[in-house]
Amino acid sequence: MKEYAEFNTVPETRVVEGTMGMSLVYRLKRVFTNQGAIDMRFSNVYYSKEYKGLVSCKGRDSKARPLSLDKLGKYTLREHDPKNPKFTRPFKVHSDEISYAAHNLI
């Protein structure tokens, strides 16, 4: 199953747990899977260059927390629907695919 991601090209600055000072983070815009594209613009998931992985940040002033990996090296992300705030659906993306997509961006 081939998966890859698309990120904003303009970085934002956040404090990431486990790193010193401000870090550049790139918002995850879209994830492409064999089921189609999943819009992630309404999520709070970013790629941290210093941490070399996905982080979650609830607000501009809060610390970003690294997302954990399962035993297969996959992140569990949640799809949100802005038209229906109660709708969320989990899906998995492989950390290697995310790193590869981010490496090509950065």
- Residue 28 has a pLDDT of 94
Amino acid at 106: I
64: buried, middle or exposed (CB in 10 Å: 19+, 13-18, 0-12)?
Answer: buried
pLDDT in tens, 62-106: 889 999 999 999 999 998 887 888 888 899 999 999 998 888 765
Q: Over 80: is that where the pLDDT of 2 sits?
A: no
pLDDT in tens, 6-17: 999 899 999 888
d(CA 16, CA 50): 9
- How large is the average pLDDT for residues 23-47? 89
What's the predicted TM-score (pTM) here?
A: 0.87
